[in-house]
Each structure stands twice: as structure tokens, then as C-alpha cells.
Structure 1
């Protein structure tokens, strides 16, 4: 195994388990203790793992880190598409909905773009552009205005003021992170306030989040889990996260990325069942 392959393997092991002891890595990789120590030191200097006494732990994102839209678009694509397919089943022709900024909510916009006569309130520039280009469907798109963030969200006082007095039947809401105690969070304080305004304008809130969002805590909470009506995630979610959601949200949808399984996703109150989606 080449050094680059060995280090990639260490990163994979640490990220999948959260932490790894040097002795375990020595056994799994079949190399010396000193080689593993040097690899961990190199990976720590590159910011790929964090070196600790006796091993390494996964690098935790900072509460203020805010990846751009393009960077996030290439992550968890199959999971996002499955989540979007499940969410699209909740949208009927002629509906009035809200769609927040985010790459998973953008996948929802793609999934529903041909549904006729939708009225969509959004603070997402890519969502507004996508729906505006689908002119044959007769959409009415209300773009809030505001200051543009790295994730292509329009936020701030202009966006909040634009949402006052508006009412949508259901809001499809993304999140940077989801945590049992912190709830739904974002690294951007101004975006948090805009998301709260979107929630206030909505009769029901449906959160779209792939399994990688769980356990991440951004700088600012914008919605407690107990105020979520429906949460759609993918089948990669951990048993612990499932248990938390069962106790916290009203409805939970568990969507499986397409892999030959039957299409469809069930919405359940109480225990979660897994099914394919998209």
C-alpha cells in the first residue's frame, strides 16, 4: 500500500468511527506503530484528522464554517435526490409552498419544477432561477431579496420584511446541522433570523436533511426539533439519531437512495420504517 493510500485509509477509518487508536490502525493496516504515528502527524498538519494521545479523532467543523453552494452540491447527491423525491410527493399542483436555501431544497425544486401552477416563496437564488426557467408550468415565484450568502441564500432585514404578511401551506426547510439539544442550526446569524421568518410564514414545516447533518452544531439555532412537523432524511441515519427524531418530530420519513429498491417513501408517526425513494 502506498503512503497516500494508507493515509486515505486512516482518514476513512477515523471518519467512519469518529476516532481510532494507533494500536487498532497498526493491526488493520499491517504497518508499524511508528509509521502510523507519522501518518497521523502528517494528516493532522493537513487538517484531515486531529491527533490526540494514543490515536486520532475526526475533525469537527467549526460552528461558523459555511461551505458554498457549489461545494455542498457535490456531497451526498444520491441521498439528497432520494430525500427530494420523497418531499415532492407532499406537493400538489397549485400548491403554495416555501423553499429555503440549500442544496437539498434545490433538489426538491428540480423534482417539482414541472408541477403546474405552483406559488413558491423562496430566499434561494438557484431555486428561483430554476423555477423561473420552467415557464411552461406557470409558476409564481416570490424571491425575498436581501444580502447573498456563500450558500446563495438571500438573508437580512430586506428578506425578513419581504416575508411579513406572506403565508404558505408548507415550508421545505434545509439546515446546516441538526442536534438533539441545539435543534436546527446555521453558521450564519443573519440567515438564522431569515429562516425564523420563513417558519413564521408557514402553516407546516418539513425539514430536508441527509444523515451527515446530524450531530453538527452551527453558531445559531433557528428551530427546535419539537417544532418540526415532518423531517425527511435518508436511510444512512444512525440508530441514535432515529431514536431522537422519533421522540422529537411529529412525522419522520426515511428515504433510501435508488439502488434497485422499490420506489416510494412512507410518512409515519411513531416508529420509523425504511423504504426506497427515487
Structure 2
């Protein structure tokens, strides 16, 4: 099937259903995940669809920059890639460190791995309720929960969280993000953007954990420019245009060819 034919079918699906998921299009068109994403990118550049996390919607669909999916919804997206990224992040953590984990589904997977890894002593600062639960009672791990106002994604944000983080210093922050592009990291939630900046400010270095589907997704609030990121841990399906914009960031890609969630 020619690219133009695939794109016509993708556009027809978006117009008839209001949205189309990459996973569904892969099955319908019998092509790779990356082929579908390239086709969506072409349609988006032409203004025919709008690219969102996990697929495409009609260009006039409401709510994209401020749409904040819940934790369970996000947890099902790019599961194998997130698991591989979390395993790679675990390998960088050493006993005796103090680290911060932002709220998020990939950072939650990292917390679950930490709970069973026996790395200790370790201090973990987090604004993620799910992360705090995953690490609660684990021998050798001290958890500091920031407090704050709860978001739909189970993050604690706002002045209380920011003030807590301002008084702390950690070796590294592992940050999950809603989206990233050439302009930097973004989230749909204004208060969460401020708290994410506080998580970065309290750390000697920041590692962003973001699977390839996050590239090109833009939220309402900007967190930080790409140059403020020390390391980006992603998967090997990150688009070539993304790599061109990440020349000042330590880019680490993990092989997900045989990954399982």
C-alpha cells in the first residue's frame, strides 16, 4: 500500500470516529508502529489531523493542550517501552543516593523495580501517591512524600509540594513528562509544571524518562527547555527529527524489540 493510500485511510478513520489510535491503525493497515506514526506526522503537518499521545484526532477537536488523562489510562500506553526504560533507569541508581521520582507511569514502574531490587540505603523523594505506596515499608528505602494538591494523574502539586522540594537536595531527579518537542518539556497542568521545575531544581542532575510516543505531544504548560535535561532515557523508536533536536542532551535509547510490559 502506498503512503498516500495509508494516509487516506487514517484520515477517513479520524473523520468518521473523531480519533484513531496508533495500535488500531497498525492492525488495520498491517504496517509497523513507526510507519503509522510517520503517516500521522505527515497528516499533521498538512493540518488534516492533530497528533496526540497514542494517535491522532480531528484538527478542531477540543482540549488537547489541557487534556490530562488519568493514571490508569496512561498506564496502558506504550507498556513495553516504559518497562524497558524503567529497567534502564534502575541500573543507574546506586546505594546511598538520594533520588527524586516525579509522579508518572514510567516512574511508577521504576518504583516497583526499586521495591524488589534490594538497593539500599536509599532516600526517595516523590510527589507521586502511587510511587509512595509502591515503596511503603520497603527495607532500606526512606520515602519523603511532598504533600500538595492531587491531580487526575495522582501527582501532588502546588505551593506545598514546591516548598517541600525547595528545602531538599538530591543526587538525581527522574522525571516523567506528558510531552516533549523541540521547545522542551510540557504538561497539561500549570501547577504540575511548577512542581516539576522544583523537582529539577532540587537535583544535581535530571533524567527524563519518556517513550518515543511523547515526542511531538504538547501540553499547555512548559516545564523546561531541552537544554535543562541532563539525560533522556527513551526507546529505540524515537523519531529521527527528535534526535536532531537533542544534540545537547545525553540521549540513551533502550532496545525494546523483545520487551514485555
What secondary structure does 2:82 align onto?
Answer: helix
Alpha-carbon distance in 1 for matches of 2:80, 2:201:
31
Aligned to 2:248: 248
Shift of 1:56: 5.4
Aligned to 1:231: 232
1:4-153 to 2 correspondences below 5 Å: 21=4, 24-25=5-6, 40=12, 43-48=14-19, 57=49, 58-59=56-57, 62-113=64-115, 114=117, 115-134=119-138, 137-153=139-155
Alpha-carbon distance in 1 for matches of 2:16, 2:6:
19
Scaled by the length of structure 1, what TM-score is found? 0.74
Shift of 1:86: 0.8
Q: Which structure would you say has the larger Rg?
A: 1
Alpha-carbon distance in 1 for matches of 2:159, 2:47:
47
Alpha-carbon distance in 1 for matches of 2:234, 2:6:
32
Instruction: Show structure 1 runs of 4+ deviating over 3 A.
Output: 49-52, 54-58
Aligned to 2:24: none
Shift of 1:207: 0.4
Alpha-carbon distance in 2 for matches of 1:133, 1:80:
25
Shift of 1:93: 1.5
Gaps of 5+ in 2: 21-39, 50-55
Shift of 1:199: 1.1
Alpha-carbon distance in 2 for matches of 1:43, 1:219:
23
Aligned to 1:272: none
Aligned to 2:258: 259
Aligned to 1:209: 210
Cα-to-partner distance string for 1:158-183 (whole Å, 9 max, x where unaligned): 111111210000000011000102x0
Scaled by the length of structure 2, what TM-score is found? 0.79
Q: Does the aligned pair in 2 maintain the 1:144–1:163 contact within 8 Å? A: yes
Shift of 1:138: 2.1
Aligned to 1:172: 174
Alpha-carbon distance in 2 for matches of 1:217, 1:178:
6
What is the number of residues matched between the two proteins?
227
What secondary structure does 1:232 align onto?
Answer: strand
Alpha-carbon distance in 1 for matches of 2:47, 2:230:
41
What secondary structure does 2:112 align onto?
Answer: helix
| Aligned counterpart in structure 1 of residue 165 of structure 2, from 163, 166, 169 | 163
Gaps of 5+ in 1: 1-12, 29-35, 261-276
What secondary structure does 1:248 align onto?
Answer: coil
Alpha-carbon distance in 1 for matches of 2:112, 2:132:
11
Alpha-carbon distance in 2 for matches of 1:156, 1:187:
14
